[in-house]
Amino acid sequence: MSGVPLMAYLALGLFMFTTGVVGVIIRRNPIVIFMCIELMLNAVNLTLLAFARYQPSAGSDPVGSAMAGQMMVIFVMAVAAAEVAVGLGIIMAIFRLRHDIDIDEMNLLRG
């Protein structure tokens, strides 16, 4: 057991998540936005792992319940990878069409 308290992990996670959210909102380059989304996802992964490690009350099955958090992280990674693949594909297609991937120019759906 290291001496790092749970709160440190959570604080780091919060910082990373906030950075990701702000990045998604203010940046105009979709590649960067994707990076920010990854940042948010990994922040959540970090908190999940931290909670899995520092269980407040290990129940009847401490190992099993620790596994649950880690399993969740694996899932999130897989989904994130798939999502990035699809997203990058879309970005490639748009780039071929318009030679430009500034998302503020993509406003065909404006009401």
**Interface ranges with another protein (CB under 8 A):** 21, 24-28, 33, 103-104, 106-111
Shortest Cβ 50–another protein spacing (Å): 19
Is the CB of 61 or the CB of 105 nearer to another protein?
105
Q: How far is the CB of 28 from another protein (least distance, A)?
A: 7
The three-state DSSP-derived secondary structure of the chain is CCCCCHHHHHHHHHHHHHHHHHHHHHCCCHHHHHHHHHHHHHHHHHHHHHHHHCCCCCCCCHHHHHHHHHHHHHHHHHHHHHHHHHHHHHHHHHHHHHCCCCHHHCCCCCC
- State which residue, 86 or 109, has the beta carbon closest to another protein: 109
